[in-house]
Structure 1
């Protein structure tokens, strides 16, 4: 039996034994197969890797072999879409010289010691999702390693000291990771290094003097780290340097003069640091320079004449410094210059004419002190130069005069910004010749006249800004032919006439600002079809009539409509007048048997006839008065009835008071408790004594008392008794409400019924209401961000539970959200409208008028059904109230601030983070707070169907607090 087993085992292992006897087929094939087994290959790129195929050198994709030894020497699988972790199979490829797995989706840490591969010369693991720290001995035995790239992964921690022992390294790229700490000193001693890229990490420290020994260095990039100190003089000894990028660090001091020795240097990028002093004259000696970027430093003084020597220069950026004086004429010798940015400095003098003769593609002079006209500078340009200019920005200077018609000759312009100057006169009519223009900004000047109808010829225009001028004509109908337009601002002008219907043709339009003009007429209904519209400001005009219905206009902010007293619709809270036929007025003096209609006489002649609008107003006022009188009478009847019976029915001294039978007489009622002791404890005060009162609301007052078992309860006395349902309906509704049990709902423990008095018995919540915590805090205490977020989430869960049981709250506000002793929110006062069938939505609105600002707009519209979405609207307002610490509506001395409009406006301006309660003093996660406020705005959309339901709100809040992308166990969400 044993011999049989041995024979079978030998047969099974025979193929592997054969391979083990042939070194050329053994470790390499086995290593590759094991490597493949450890990873995922969703695109099947490695389908040719077949373990039964003994010729990987010829047939396996990505595999190359040494012709002499027939062993695998290269494995290049760049961009194969592979995922998973690096397995140990690679370590069996003992003759491997190049391993490149770039641009895949590999994850996990690099625990393998590639130093075991003694022939490895190139290691490229860039552009994956690898993470973790690099072990201290990872580079302890580099062997002949010449190039290593771990770029654009997620490595963290410090760079190991052992890297300094890789003396043969010629290229080192660790860019785009999260490395921290000091760079090992040994790196600066790698004399064979030609390329060093450590950009986009969090490394710190200074560049040591030892950099002078890196004689072979061709390129160095330390961009976007935390390196500091001065650039050492020794950098001038790296004579082979062709590219230097030290941008976005905290380097300081002046530039070492030894750098002028770097005659081969093409790129000098030092932007976003703290360099000081004058821009060095000696830079003009670095004759090979093609790119110079010294922007966003503290350079001062005059612009050096020596830059005129740089005839290879293509890109020059010295913006955001403190350079003064005028630009030297010597710059006209920079014949290859294509982009020149000297914006945000303190230049004076005229616009240099040479800038328009060199064939520049980008010219940026914005935010300086340039003055004079631009006629000569533009008209002196050559025809070839005009064809090359793509970007011209001379904004925020002191330029004056008219905009010359020569501007129309620069037919290749894509951006023209002449804003915030003192240009006057009209806009050149030939502006339509700029057919490639994407952005035209002539705002904040003194331009007048009309907007050229030739604007239609600029079909590529997507951003047109003409605000804050003195334009005084109509908006041209041809504006509708600017098919690419996304942003249109004509605000603060004297523009007259209607908003053209052709505007509706601009299907990409996102932002429109026509505010502070003299526009008249009605808004075209077709504007509702602009599906990408985000903002449409027509405030402070003379527009009238109804807004377009549907689309963006159902959610438009009221602040975008203010100052147009004749506009109507839900967004401006002004009902549009019903269109009625003209009244027929019979002439009483006519003897004609037909008694035909006649036109009323003019005002002041004959009898005065009231207008239709006046009659409607009078009728509406009369209806309101009658309604108020009726409600007042009903309440007076309730109070008198309650007063006459309260002495018997409500006093619980000595145990008398509530009868527990279902029968009723004039002196007793029915008390039902859903749980616990149905008896109230004895006491000396009346149950509804003023001393026990906790507060009052639209539906009644709330009192505190105690059950015999020692448990406190809150009792709400309904003050709308005559409107309550019959006893059977009342009891059925209360029992349904009592079943809505949830940790975030105030539980209903029972009720008391008489025909003239109804009480609801709630659990007592000790921590007070949210309103007091937000607006009446004392002693410097206030809710933290976590407390606020938990209250928002808890209230959302409570409302979601109500909606699950088909219960609408109707009266959500911060005073109806209670906080228990452990800080848990509990929503109270829900579903009371179900008990009051005689209340229509207008009477109901008056009853909950203390909830001003929380009420959904559908309350004001008879044709819109009231659904649970009215609670979603109120919740959205509540969210904004909690985050901002401001009331839904705040009355100032001469203004009324509506919270929703304020936050929505801040969001449009990119300043929504400034709305967060200042008492938090920055101690909150800004991204989380912004997302919560955006959710609040979504909940307050004008159209109910556009609002989410509360279950969706709960899910969104939980995602905001714990986004999927941050959970390590789910991996990289983006992948």
Structure 2
């Protein structure tokens, strides 16, 4: 690369000499430097097309800014251009360069020390690329004017160079989300101009340096997600300018230093996930600029200070997972701007704090405490703001009593309502019909009675309905079939009677149904076999009778799901059903002409039957014959299309602009983003059945060899529901082809005709993760360390997609490929972009083909599909890797749902038993348990409770210190 760059430079230098000695005005060093720089870059989107070597000045080029006085290049901003390649020494020709920003690209390799050769550089931003290795010491050797540096979101390791302490002009340092380790350089406190320091998401350790206290200009400090230990610096409050403080998810302990009281300008204080203890001091109320206070997941004790009421700008208060006692102070009612309140999992007591409903909060969690008494709703006039804003309400696991109250129906925008594990009684209010935005409704484990109101069918968005362990009577209301997005339904342990409505068959998204321990009668409707997503259907311990449905899920329904119904019959319960005979025909002897007339009538009847039977038989024969003809024609057409496609692939050109030989109607268009386009085996083996690697929702995948010896994978897409136009198809595929990351399968090209589309990607030789986990073809077992690395690599690939605002939609083990070095690569990403619209039914049937990975929000049209659906699939995938079990497994007498099985084992303290038996004696418990917990958190039913993938990476990096991870996840 060095030799090539030198050659290119000499070539352009010669051209420069000729221009200088001609009558034309010369171009300057900036043009020469940038043109040579461009020659070393890969620019898939042609973002640098305006960089023309014939121009005299580069000041009008994309991404280039010049000083208006000297007319020399002062800024180079190439953010979000999907660039990769090599940045060489030619950039040093830009002698007046002050700003270099190449963030959110695909650069990889080690950071070139050439960036340290600029004496005039003020800003250097290399964030969100794929750089690895150590931060070069040379970057900070000539940093006399360097003010900002960011290398965030890469894969850097090692220490922060000590030379950074000589950069006296530094104002902002961001090295977040890498794998940097060790302690901070001694002397960091000498950088008195520092205003912002972000070290989050790394592996830093040791105590927080005392020199931090002398950074009097510091406004932003984020040390979260590391391994720091010890006390907070006693005099940290001397940094009077601090506005944002985050030391979350470390191993810090002790009391809060009193000097924090001085931070009157601080708006955000986050100390989550540490080992802080003691009572909260009253002086916290003096931090009147606070908008966010997060002290969750520590060991704080005592009462919640009454002084919190002074924090009238407070927007978010999180005190969960501590040891607070007493009642919540009523002074919090003065926090008029409070939007999120979480005090769950403490030891709080007293009556339900009704003043909460007087605030405009969006999220309230009081679960896991000891609140008692009835919910006293204030007048509607004073709670209107709250009822308009509230999205999340969790009152579970307390000792609340009384009736739920009709007023709850006014929570019209509520998405999550959990009042389970209390002592509520009385009927479910009919106003529940007004909860038309609610996704999760959990009233289980109470003392509710009466009938289930038919109005529940108007809560049409409900996906998860839990009414188990109550005293409900009567029949299941037929209106429940109007909840068309219902995924989970639990009515077990009640006194319900009557038949199970056949309308359940219309609830096509149903996955888990538990109707056990009731008094249902009648038979199970046969139409239930149409419920294609069923995982659990438990009707045990009822009074059902008749034959079990045959087909679909019911062919393998476990015995435990139907036991306790003595009159049920079928192969599952090992009880044969009595034969059903048609009733005999009884002739009326008193009818006129009862002899020959009756015989004649019967004869005519038989002739009619024979006539109809004959017609049906003839019609069926004709239909079959036509079908054979049609299928034959289609097969011939398909073979012709494939032959034309293969011919096109063999003869067409090698880049975006190479013309195809022949007409497009006959051959189509082949586009390869780089490399050879000639296939070694010619056209014969291109889409050969013998070369098929597998099939998925979008089509079959084949292996083919190029003439340069490389193998590629070719996906033959199913054309139905895909973008039909070549321009739109090409645009979307080129976007996907520009994505490059070590943990993503690279898309190398495509082929298009109106009837056939192919995607060409790199061939990953190590097979799929599914094969390694579940098939016998791989003799060696994945070690625990290898599995952990795979989980982390999947997370990194997925996080990179999310940074680019691309949702994968189809996270499953068969879409994770293992290369020859054992590294994981995420494949089949972004294929939903080839659909004309984001139709959930198509996604469910075409993309989410594997049972168990689909996020529950796919079932609800009113819920926005976000990156959190990928997080759900990642959570299931994580559990699959740890346990070696599929997300759903059908056994002889049971159905195993992986998430439920692992969660149940964890609650019983037996999570170790879930680990793949192949790893027994060869895994680290302190690592496995936090990974299991992380998987369960990611696979939460509620999207808002799942972490984003950047946070997942940070947690995985922390796994190497089990004690801190335990605090993070418990």
**TM exceeding 0.5:** yes
2:922 alignment counterpart: 923
TM-aligned CA distance change 1:929 to 1:410, over 3 Å: closer
Cα deviation 1:612-656 (Å, max 9, x = unaligned): xxxxxxxxxxxxxxxxxxxxxxxxxxxxxxxxxxxxxxxxxxxxx
Shift of 1:94: 2.1
Q: Quick one: which of 902, 919, 940 aligns to 1:910?
A: 902
Is the Cα contact below 8 Å between 1:246 and 1:269 reproduced in 2? Answer: yes
Question: What SS class does the counterpart of residue 185 from structure 1 fall into?
Answer: coil
Q: What is the match of residue 521 of structure 1?
A: 522
Aligned residues: 630
**Deviation of residue 791 (structure 1)?**
10
Q: Residues of 2 paired with 1:23 and 1:452: CA distance?
A: 86
Report how far residue 70 of structure 1 moved.
2.2
Residues 354, 376 of structure 2: 8 Å contact kept: no
TM-score (norm 1): 0.60
Counterpart for residue 679 of structure 1: none
User: Pairwise mapping of residues 169-180 of structure 1 onto structure 2 (< 5 A)?
Assistant: 169-180=170-181
The residue aligned with 2:244 is 243
Q: TM-score, normalization: structure 2? A: 0.60
CA change 1:27–1:453 in 2 (3 A) is same
Deviation at 1:83, TM superposition (A): 2.4
Matching residue of 1:45: 47
User: The residue matched to 1:301 in structure 2 has which SS?
Assistant: strand
2:389 paired residue number: 388
Partner of 1:95: 96
For 2:13 and 2:158, locate their aligned partners in 1 and report how far apart those are by CA, in whole Å. 46
Give a deviation string over 1:944-963, Cα, whole Å, max 9, x none.
Answer: xxxxxxxxxxxxxxxxxxxx
Give the SS at the match of 2:145: coil
Q: Residues 26-84 of structure 1, C-alpha deviation per residue, up to 9 Å, x if partnerless?
A: 432232223222222112212222222333212x2111112222222111111111223
Q: Which residue of 1 aligns with 2:285?
A: 284
Single out whichever of 23-32 and 475-484 deviates more from structure 2: 23-32
Equivalent pair of 1:72/1:96 in contact (CA under 8 Å): yes
Q: What is the rounded CA distance, in whole Å, between the counterparts of 1:235 and 1:48 in structure 2?
A: 50
1:610-621 to structure 2, matched below 5 A, reads none
Equivalent residue for 1:64? 65
Higher relative contact order (CA 8 A, sep 6+): 2
Matches within 5 A, 1:541-556: 541-556=542-557
Q: Is the 8 A contact 2:219 2:241 kept in 1?
A: yes
Aligned to 1:610: none
Cα drift, residue 362 of structure 1: 1.8
Q: Using a 3 Å threshold, how does the CA distance of structure 1 residues 901 and 93 change in structure 2: closer, same or farther? A: farther
Could you list the runs of 5+ residues in structure 1 that have no partner in the other structure?
1-9, 587-592, 595-787, 798-882, 887-896, 934-975
| Rounded Cα–Cα distance in structure 1 between residues aligned with 2:235 and 2:300 | 22
Distance 2:228 2:64 in 1: 41
What does residue range 472-487 of structure 1 map to in structure 2 within 5 Å?
A: 472-487=473-488
CA displacement 1:223-265 (0-9 Å, x = unmatched): 1111111111221100000010111111100000111100000
Distance 2:86 2:15 in 1: 29
Residue 186 of structure 1 corresponds to 187
Post-superposition offset of 1:144: 1.1
Check conservation: 1:447, 1:471, Cα contact below 8 A: yes
Q: Distance in 2 between matches of 1:922 and 1:901?
A: 30
Cα–Cα, structure 1 residues 458 and 563, in superposed 2: closer, same or farther, change >3 Å? same
SS of the counterpart of 2:448? strand
Looking at structure 1, the residues matched to 900 and 407 of structure 2 have their Cα atoms a distance apart, in angstroms, of 37
- Paired residues of 2:153 and 2:178 also in contact (CA < 8 A): yes
CA distance 1:11–1:483, change in 2 (3 Å): closer
Partner of 1:54: 56
Partners in 1 of 2:291 and 2:303 — Cα distance?
21
Q: Quote the Cα distance in structure 2 between the aligned partners of 1:24 and 1:169.
A: 37
Question: Structure 1 884/270 Cα, relative in aligned 2: closer, same or farther at 3 Å?
Answer: closer
- Secondary structure in 1 aligned to 2:495? coil
- Deviation for aligned residue 1:294: 0.6
Question: SS of the counterpart of 2:137?
Answer: coil
Equivalent residue, structure 1, for 2:17: 17
**1:745-783 deviations in whole A, cap 9, x for unaligned?**
xxxxxxxxxxxxxxxxxxxxxxxxxxxxxxxxxxxxxxx
Query: Take 2:780 and 2:586, find their aligned partners in 1: how far apart are those partners?
Result: 58
CA drift at 1:135: 2.9
Name the Cα RMSD after superposition. Answer: 3.6
CA contact (8 A) 1:356 1:380 kept: no
The secondary structure found in structure 1 opposite 2:902 is coil
The structural deviation recorded for 1:502 is 1.9
User: Given that residues 557 and 894 in structure 2 are in contact (C-alpha distance below 8 angstroms), is that contact kept between their aligned partners in structure 1?
Assistant: no
Deviations 1:590-627 (A, max 9, x none): xxx99xxxxxxxxxxxxxxxxxxxxxxxxxxxxxxxxx
What's the counterpart of residue 81 of structure 1? Answer: 82
Map of 1:214 onto structure 2? 215
Partner residue in 1 for 2:458? 457
Give the corresponding residue for 1:844: none
Answer yes or no: is 1:32 the counterpart of 2:24: no
The answer to whether the 8 A contact 1:24-1:71 is kept is no
Deviates more, 1:248-257 or 1:494-503: 494-503
Task: Report the secondary structure of 1:382's partner residue.
Answer: helix
Say whether the 8 Å CA contact 1:353–1:380 is kept in structure 2.
no
State how far apart, in whole Å, the 2-side matches of 1:538 and 1:254 are: 54
1:555, distance to aligned residue in structure 2 (A): 4.6
Q: Give the corresponding residue for 1:659.
A: none
Shift of 1:469: 0.9
- Give distance in 2, aligned partners of 1:541 and 1:50: 79
Bigger Rg over Cα: 1
Q: What residue is the counterpart of 1:233 in the other structure?
A: 234
The aligned runs of 1:845-864 (5 Å cut-off) are none
* Alpha-carbon offset, residue 134 of structure 1: 1.8
Indicate how the Cα distance of structure 1 residues 560 and 51 shifts in structure 2: closer, same or farther if over 3 A, else same: farther
Q: Distance in 1 between matches of 2:569 and 2:90?
A: 74
Corresponding residue SS for 1:543:
strand
- Give the Cα–Cα distance (whole angstroms) in 2 for the partners of residues 107 and 555 of structure 1: 50
Q: Cα offset for 1:924?
A: 4.2
